[in-house]
Amino acid sequence: MADPSKRLALNAAGAFFVDSTCIDCDACRQLAPETFGEARDSSYVAAQPSTEAQTRRALHALLSCPTGSIGTIGANGAKQTMRDFPLLLEAEVSYAGFNSADSYGGNSYVVQHPAGNWLIDSPRYVKHLVRRFEELGGLRYLFLTHRDDVADSDRYATRFGSQRIIHRHELAAQPDAEIVLDGADPVHLAADFTIIPTPGHTRGHCVLLYRNRFLFTGDHLSWDRDAQRLHASRRVCWHSWPEQKRSMARLLDYSFAWVLPGHGQRVNLPEEQMRKELAALVGRMEGGGGVR
């Protein structure tokens, strides 16, 4: 629970506030950009919500905040708004919410599929999501992009008898994972799903392509809200920037319209535009400019 006594001075006057426990994970700014802004080391309430839709998005951010750093003065509709999760993005793909501090606030996603549902990276283990996953028919696979975002995947796997998928080089984060990937070749584990190894951020980082439309990118690729272009972070590349450059170029062999990252802004673009944006990013990475 956010503490009003720790309310940041930057917050706009009104009901919603961010307190000093914020870890600046960016989740709230992704979910409610009209309400939350970015300070030097934290988020803050830049403008109080002024419509019902804005209030609902601000409550989505409150519920998803991994450190419970967002609060309100007085009653709010969080319990009712919780029913929105997982948040539908398109077709059978949803954002899980309830981001985990163990993953530094990383995003996770759900794919409903006739052959079994997938959870991509892990949210916090919360009763609401367990109940919703039960209603959706359980979880067959838990795909883990890399070691940083496993969070409570072991608890979800135990609860639903799921098979966790992770690359061998990330196995220390989930040593008893059921499916261990190896090597650098793409893996077609199930119909409609292609796993693409993308070493760089970490040695065994992988992305997941679903139906040649949705690319779940972990910490490999995201959208820069300010520059309005695709982005890869050299600053948080823990393993090898040259390998990440090669991995990014490899994605030009695939088509997709959505980039759904673990950290950073998601984006949906027409496939041709997405390809141009990706090619431009690869060019910047190879040229050494415009990538931070």
Query: Which overall architecture, per CATH, does domain 85-287 show?
Result: 4-Layer Sandwich (3.60)
The mean of the pLDDT values for the chain is: 97
> Is pLDDT of 28 > 90?
yes
Using alpha carbons only, give the angle 166, 264, 2 rounded to the nearest 5 degrees: 100
Question: Which whole number is the average pLDDT over 29-55?
Answer: 97
Q: How confident is the model at residue 132 (pLDDT cuts 50, 70, 90)?
A: very high
Q: Which pLDDT value is given to residue 1?
A: 83
CATH architecture of 4-73: 2-Layer Sandwich (3.30)
pTM for the whole structure: 0.97
Burial class (CB in 10 A: 0-12, 13-18, 19+), 237: buried
Distance CA 220, CA 227 (A): 17
Q: What is the mean pLDDT of residues 100-105?
A: 98
Q: Are 97 and 63 in contact (CB under 8 A)?
A: yes
Residue 218: pLDDT over 80: yes
Average pLDDT over residues 139-149: 98
Q: What is the pLDDT of residues 248-284, one digit of tens each?
A: 999 999 999 999 999 999 999 999 999 999 999 999 9
Dmax (CA) for the chain in angstroms is 54
In the beta sheet, which residues pair with residue 259? Answer: 215, 267
Domain ranges of the chain: 4-73, 85-287
pLDDT for 288 equals 76
